Amino acid sequence: MARILFQRVDGKPMGEPIALPHARRRLSALVRQHADHSRPYIVSVHRRRQPLAVTDQSVRLRRTWPQTIVGRRDTVIVTYLPRGGGGSSSSGSSRAGKGASIGLLVATVALAAIGQFWAIGAIAGGLGVSTAVAGTIWAAGSAVALAGGAYLLSRATKAKANKTDDRPVYGVSGGGNLPRSGDRIPVIYGRCWTTPDLSQPDYTTYVGDDSQELYKRLTIGCGKYAFKSIRVSGVTMWTADDGMTPAFTGSSLEFIAPGATSSLVPGQVASVQAVSSSELPKATDFPNYAGPFEFGSGAALQSRFQLDFSLPQGCYAVPDGGKFDGKQFPTSWGVLFEYAPCDVDGTPTGPFSQLWTESGYVLSTRPMRFTRFVDVAAGRYTVRARNIGADDTVAHSAGFNAKVTNAVVWEGLRSHIPDAVVRPGITELAMKIRAGKELSVTSFGEVEVEVSRILPVWNGSGWSDQETDLCVWAGADALMDASHGAGQPASKLDLDRLLHYATAGAPFNTFSGIIRGPVSVYEALTTIFGTMRASPLRLGSVWTIVRDEPKAVRKHVISRRQILKDTTGQTFNLDLSDGSADIIVEWYADGDPRRRREQRVTFGSQTANPRRMAATGARTGEHAVHLATWAAAVAYYRRERRAFSMEYAGRMLLPNDSALIDAWYFDPVEAAGVIDRDDYALTLDTEIELAPDSWAILRGRDGLEWGPIGLTQEGGRVLLNPDDCDQAETISGLSLDDVLNTATQEFTTVVIGALTELQSAWLIRSLAFEGETTVNVEAVFDAPQVWSALAEPIYVPPPPPSSGLETEASISIAYVSAQAVQQNGAVFMAWSIGRARQAAEYQILISYDDWTTSEMAYRGPSASGSYPLREFEGTIRVRARGIGASGIVSPWKETAFSVAPAILDLGNAGAGTLPYKAFLQGLEPVSIVAEEPELFGYVGPKVITLLQDGKIVMRQLSADGTAWEPLSAEDYVANSITAAAIQAGAIKATAIDVENLSAISAQLGDILGGSLNINNRFMVAADGTVTIMSSPTGDRVVIGSNLIQVINAAGIPVVEIGILP
């Protein structure tokens, strides 16, 4: 609830307070309704939680009353001044003169308060009042007790007497952003304004009893800078041309170069924030100490303390009775600081001892401020303090008490770290500000600095440090600097192209802005080069730039021979009202955030939702409007995009390259297999009638497309166009011989169809690698209207580097291991690869002949697996590599292992224990049939054997399951059909698909010769004699055609049945 208080000039109440309703009221209405207008008065307004002291800040002048609103919780104080009594002075002074007399009154009362009894006469003469009235004013007044004294003294006529206590006390405050640990330090390029962060907390010291010094240390940024201007709260403090301005006389500046030390603010200062403005208790208070306070567990050891304390109300005693009632007298003040060692938790580990003590006996109504430095042995300490001055009330022997004012406020506890601060690679600014009447700005929380970056500049033969705002050298710094950049050597930069754009290669090639991390180097380069319509590009290990600029010639011709079929797509943006060509560009004039500008640039018609664009790095309106014009023209005219895929062709495509691009569309009509070749003439396995202007695409051994190739028909054959074949060989690196399959492989597939071609001028916009051999290209139509809008001449840049582009592989597999593993009747290779972080898939190759030939064992995402091996005895070599999603491959890793044919040892198999199905596992069954089975609903073996024209013919089911195809030589395991194989097992196990041998029918033909030997235990001779043995040399049974014998180990028949000899 708001209220109105009434008081006299000496602070004593005068009338009852008035409570106001909750509604807000104007001050003019409240004064008109409640104040006594027959007396002179001043009015002050005090907001919630503000002290009820009439000061310069709280008093409201009459002309401001109608605009002043009194809130629901505000307090209005009406302070009445003494009456004039005798009316107008003999000199006939006006109302204005009386106003001046009031000011003289306040100053005179201040003199009376310190014992100047002659002031009574001055009061009477100055106001034209009686001596009695003047004595009353003298008895009641004191400068500290006058409710409106501070306000009136600053505006009324000052007395000519030597008023020591009226001397002003000056102060200055700091502030700013103190970054947290780990925050990024900005990097500034070009010339612009910045609001630097604090390198360490500000600290102050009191100088004498009327002044104060502020110490600031600010972080400008990484690198070297030239200082141009400094301003504080919008007021210019210093310029490079004129130095310190008069408003900041007495201040000092120091520019700290990277790695240098400061003589102005040499070391760090740690402050205890909890101490700030803590009033010290006295011995009779509870608690009777302030603190203890310590600097924290992470603080450096303390060896030099700074103690800041003050008596903000001064020091004096005022009796409350007797003939000295209301007069001020000297009294005592004092402070005691104690410290004790402590641990990292701040717990004292020893007794407290005296750190500093100071006292005095004075009369002062003005603030008293002190800064003291104390050196101690280095250690970790905690500090406490107490007010040891006179008690708040002191009894006098005359029977009255005196009220003592000697409150002490602990302003700060600081520790000075003696080590000089050295920050390599960082430029700083040190400031020392001394408060005084010449200092027009007392708050230094907002310091702005204009700097120009000093960078290494390449002149074609060497580097030199220069002030520059060229974006190419800013980009070079971002790449080369080891502390805040990528740390790349100069040899990894395309210096020829950078120098070209720095000299005569482009207009508007400057950048003035601040890069704040964390951002990637590529993102920073994109921002820097964006002001000249350029982008960074890495060619292998070399960094260069590409710029959107008009071209004199088309650098590339991408024909249908390079573009993969069915990969071309074209999009058209027909929405002209999306705001992309209606831009409002914003920029800071001269890099000053206080001077924000904007302008609208439109191609077509203005829209309801224009796009806002920040021209980061542009210092001038001309530069910003140029960038907006380019962006709007590109959005309006380049609305056609084309995307296509092509295989690697040994050419260098760069973003923003100009190219004539064919769009070709292949419409396949039919497919066939190549069964024979005579030079460029191919014999196909299917009769084909070629339409005019037919084309063919061949699928090579590696699975990649080869072509398109023009076709003509010659009887039952087709002829390939030799020029197209030469072009395809140039692009792919494969000749026709390398593409066509060998006689032992499947027929080479050729797809025949019609071809349609379109060609126009485009700009390469992006390249994305897909897999190991394919790159996806996106291009935009190179509309000539863009260059007409910019009216920019053609600057021909130097070609990009073509050598020294090699870079270390970004994908690397740690190892590959492989070994032979027998699984029943087959041998497999079990392999594993050390996973690579960036690999999307892995590739395994094996070779049986030391890489004369090879075959792919696996390609996919797995890092382990198995692969069936041929029947082979010797060393098998294995290679493996990882392949990234973008097609980047790792170096090959190689290993080798030895393998022998699989051995089936049945010697330990008991009767009835041979698992036939396990024996057959992994083998492909073969069906023996009289004719080819119908495929509708067929679920039998994929390989069949039948007799045609007296010959055994084998066929296999096609991949799509729609036809029986002849087996080619490659479908047989190498060396599987040999004389030895026929002797040892002419009937392969894959032809047996039964649970038991009894299921085999008798119609299997006759064994007309030869013998049978099972593990030298069961033998059938060519004449039909059967011998059964338990061991090679033990007892045996011999069954002949007319005699059965049991013979012992000595070879003597012991049993004979049949026709005996």
Helix axes 95-113, 119-127, angle to 10 degrees: 170
Q: Which of 203-217, 445-459, 736-750, 788-802 has maximum average pLDDT?
A: 445-459
Q: Does residue 233 sit in the same domain as residue 135?
A: no
Among the three residues 166, 187, 213, which one is the final residue of a domain in this structure? 166
652: pLDDT strictly greater than 50:
yes
> Which of 114-123, 331-340, 398-407, 976-985 has the lowest average pLDDT?
114-123
563 assigned to some structural domain = no
567 assigned to some structural domain = no
Q: Does residue 660 sit in the same domain as residue 785?
A: yes
Q: Any alpha helices (H) in 820-950, and if so which ranges?
A: 916-920
Q: CA dihedral defined by 22, 24, 27, 28, rounded to 10 degrees?
A: -110
104: pLDDT strictly greater than 90:
no
> At a CB cut-off of 8 Å and minimum separation 6, what does 73 contact?
1, 2, 47, 48
pLDDT at 127: 42
803 assigned to some structural domain = no
392 assigned to some structural domain = yes
Q: Does residue 1018 sit in the same domain as residue 937?
A: no
DSSP letter for each residue of 203-248: EEEEETTTEEEEEEEEEEEESEEEEEEEEETTEEEEETTTEE-GGG
Q: Does residue 161 sit in the same domain as residue 183?
A: no
Nearest in space to 450 (alpha carbons), one of 670, 206, 241 = 241
pLDDT at 341: 94
Q: Any alpha helices (H) in 685-757, and if so which ranges?
A: 722-732, 736-739
548 assigned to some structural domain = no
Q: How far apart are CA 116 and CA 218, in angstroms?
A: 50
Q: How far apart, in Å, do the first and last CA atoms of the chain sit?
A: 145
Which residues span the domain enclosing 445?
167-266+421-455
Residue corresponding to tokens 């009406």: 78
Q: How far apart are CA 37 and CA 26, in angstroms?
A: 18
Residue 853: phi and psi, rounded to 5, are -130, 165
Q: Does residue 405 sit in the same domain as residue 315?
A: yes
Q: How far apart are CA 955 and CA 973, in angstroms?
A: 15
Q: How far apart are CA 939 and CA 13, in angstroms?
A: 114
344: pLDDT strictly greater than 60:
yes
* pLDDT classification of 37: cutoffs 50, 70, 90: confident
CA distances from 362 to 146, 279, 371, 414, 562 (A): 21, 20, 18, 28, 98
> Which of 41-50, 806-815, 937-946 has the lowest average pLDDT?
806-815
845: pLDDT strictly greater than 60:
yes
Per DSSP, the three-state class of 525 is: helix
pLDDT at 397: 65
Whether the CB-CB separation of 881 and 810 falls below 8 Å is answered with: no
Q: CB burial class (10 A; 0-12, 13-18, 19+) of residue 157?
A: middle
Buried b / exposed e over 414-436, threshold 16 CB at 10 Å, is bbbbeeebebeebbbbbbebbbb
Q: How far apart are CA 749 and CA 736, in angstroms?
A: 13
* DSSP type of residue 303: E
Beta-bridge partners for 166: none
pLDDT at 115: 34
Q: How many domains is the chain partitioned into structurally?
A: 10
Q: Does residue 150 sit in the same domain as residue 241?
A: no
Q: CB burial class (10 A; 0-12, 13-18, 19+) of residue 834?
A: middle
pLDDT at 99: 34
Among the three residues 114, 135, 166, which one is the final residue of a domain in this structure? 166
Q: Does residue 195 sit in the same domain as residue 245?
A: yes
105 assigned to some structural domain = yes
833 or 714, higher pLDDT: 833
pTM of the model: 0.57
Q: Does residue 863 sit in the same domain as residue 727?
A: no
Q: What percent of the chain has pLDDT over 70?
A: 78
Among the three residues 589, 615, 638, which one is the final residue of a domain in this structure? 638
How far, rounded to the nearest angstrom, does the alpha carbon of residue 791 sit from its chain's CA centroid? 37
pLDDT tens for 695-742 read 888 887 777 778 788 888 888 788 998 888 887 887 777 888 888 887
Alpha carbons within 13 A on the beta-carbon side of 845: 15
Whether the CB-CB separation of 877 and 847 falls below 8 Å is answered with: yes
810 or 524, higher pLDDT: 524
pLDDT at 641: 83
Whichever domain contains 294, its CATH number is 2.60.40
Mean pLDDT in residue range 652-668: 70
156: pLDDT strictly greater than 60:
no
Q: How far apart are CA 889 and CA 839, in angstroms?
A: 8
Mean pLDDT in residue range 25-37: 87
How far, rounded to the nearest angstrom, does the alpha carbon of residue 48 sit from its chain's CA centroid? 45
CA distances from 941 to 536, 795, 952, 954, 969 (A): 60, 71, 17, 12, 19
Whether the CB-CB separation of 785 and 661 falls below 8 Å is answered with: no
Q: Does residue 213 sit in the same domain as residue 126?
A: no
Q: Does residue 481 sit in the same domain as residue 528?
A: yes
Whichever domain contains 24, its CATH number is 3.10.20
Q: What are the helix and strand counts (H, E) for the chain?
A: 14, 63
580 assigned to some structural domain = yes
State the average pLDDT for the chain: 78
* pLDDT classification of 528: cutoffs 50, 70, 90: very high
Q: Does residue 174 sit in the same domain as residue 154?
A: no
Q: Does residue 1052 sit in the same domain as residue 1031?
A: yes
Determine the Cα angle at 610 with ends 608 and 615, to 5°.
165
- Count how many residues are written for the chain: 1061
pLDDT tens for 983-994 read 444 444 444 455
464 assigned to some structural domain = no
